Every structure is written in C-alpha cells, then in structure tokens.
Amino acid sequence: MLIDGTAIAAEVRAEVASGVETFRQRRGRVPVLRVVLLGDNPASQSYVRAKKRAAEEVGIDAETLLKPADMSQSAMLALLAELNEAPNVDGILVQLPLPDHIDEGAIIRALDPAKDVDGFHPENVGKLVLGDDTLEPCTPAGIVEMLKRSNVETSGAHAVVVGRSNIVGKPMASLLLRRGLDCTVTVCHSRTRNLAEITRQADILVAAIGRAEFVTADMVREGATVIDVGINRVEDLTRERGYRLVGDVDFEAVREKAAAITPVPGGVGPMTIAMLLANTLTAAQRRTA
C-alpha cells in the first residue's frame, strides 16, 4: 500500500479550513501566522512560499517578515518580543536554518511557547516528552496522522526510528510512546552497531537520517510499514533540472517488501505543512478560549 501524504494532507487542510471558518464566526477574525525569514536562501524561500500559500488556502492570515541575512541577533530578539506581545498574532514560525552569527537555540527559547507553531520551544518539548497536550513538531505529528488515517496498527508494535534529530527523531520517538499509539520504540543513528539487524525487527520503520536511499531492502522486514522522512537531491542528467528528489529509503526495492510505504515526494512533506496549519489554528483557539 502506498501511503499518499498528499491526499491525507488535503483531508487535514479541509478540516483546518472548517475550523478556521468556525473561529472566524465566533471571534470575528481569522488565525494569524507570522513567518520570520532571514536572507535569500532559495530553499528557505521556497519552503516559506509553500507555507504561506497553504495558510492562505485554508483562510489563515499569513505574512512573511523578510529580513536581511545580516540582521543582528539583538534585532531579531526585539522582533520576536514584539510578535510575542502582539495580541492579534497567534503563531510565530522562524524559518530554519538561521545564518551562522545567530544563536538558533536562543532564538527558539525567545519564542512565546503558546505561539511556537513549530513545537521547538523547550517548554513544548518537555510537555511532549511528559505526554502532556502541547504544540507538537509538525513532521512527527504529521507522521502520526498518516499512521492513524492509514489504519496502521501501532499498539504493541516495534517502531524503529533511524535518526536522532531534535526536529524529527527525538520527538517522533516520544509521540510513538504515547498512550493511544503505545509502540515499543528503538532510536538508531548512523553510529548504531548492527543497524540492519535492528531495522529488520521493525513493524514500523521511520527513516530520518538525511542520506539518500540509505535504507535498503535488506534492512526492512517483510510486511513492515516504512515512513520516509528524507528529501535529498541526487544528480540525474535525464531530468531537465539535472537532479531528482529521493528519500532516505531505496523506494523501488523496499516497496516490494513493505506492507505500506510513503513516497518522496508526496509523502511526509505535505503533512508537515498541513500540521503547521493545524498548530496555528490550535494556538489561536487556545489563546482566545
């Protein structure tokens, strides 16, 4: 089975659009999202445009605050303080990565946790680990939605997460451990010994290691569910642009063994943006409750 992230994301966006309209009728305004982008990194600009377009499609007031790459950290902290205090701003997203002269951790800690729609603030991370209700990181939250809406059995399943990043790997493990999902979770990384032996034990395998087609067919158990978080450019001179996008999984080989698998593109990516919209609506609802 192919897990169609584009189709599932469309379901989530439709639900968010309905929620936004209800919010507008009750509060007399729509949820407001502000995205802070430093510099002219083409990939970051592309991501931000996609997020802004998706937000507008569901009725969220989204605006990108484009600032020069050499903006000082003190000036950026002042901007975030202003957004934190703004009564009409519900969600704040700082597009990562930031220029080298900016302390990324300090910027994330400066966000109001109630407006942190990326779910990266330490307070939100702590609540996630404790199992409390909070704004969850968008990619792991999107994967949970994919599993639920694809009727993948999670209770008692052995989930193996390959990757230990703060954005995907660690929060993914915390979510899979939660009541209602109830997985047994193993977290691996590039230095894990006998990695293939461990991944072959997985009922659910989440690949988030950032290496093109790293997970091969011999690393996957027959009948497993495989979630590919990676998005990597590989040279392909047969394509007009000279490259193609692939995930962290050797898709064509692994799909022959997997009971369910996500494609790249069209898998986890659309879900990440859909969950950002859901977080923005949630933040607005909680702030005005």
Active-site choice (51, 115, 127, 170): 51
Please answer whether residues 219 and 200 qualify as being in contact, where contact means their C-beta atoms are separated by less than 8 angstroms: yes
| Long-range contacts of residues 185-191, Cβ cutoff 8 Å, at least 24 apart | 185/158, 185/159, 185/160, 185/161, 186/158, 186/159, 186/160, 186/161, 187/160, 187/161, 188/160, 188/161, 188/162, 188/163, 189/162, 189/163, 189/164
Is 163 marked within a binding site?
A: yes
Is 18 marked within a binding site?
A: no
Angle, CA of 104, 134 and 136, to the nearest 5°: 55
User: Quick check: helix, strand or coil at residue 10?
Assistant: helix
Q: Is 95 a catalytic residue?
A: yes
Q: Is 51 a catalytic residue?
A: yes
Is 72 marked within a binding site?
A: no
Whole-angstrom Cα distance, residue 106 to residue 178? 29
Active-site choice (112, 116, 118, 248): 118
- What is the number of helices (H) and of strands (E) in the chain? 10, 10
Is 119 marked within a binding site?
A: no
Active-site choice (95, 112, 170, 248): 95
Residues marked active site are found at 51, 95, 118
Q: Which residues are annotated as a binding site?
A: 163-165, 231
Q: Which residues are annotated as a binding site for NADP(+)?
A: 163-165, 231
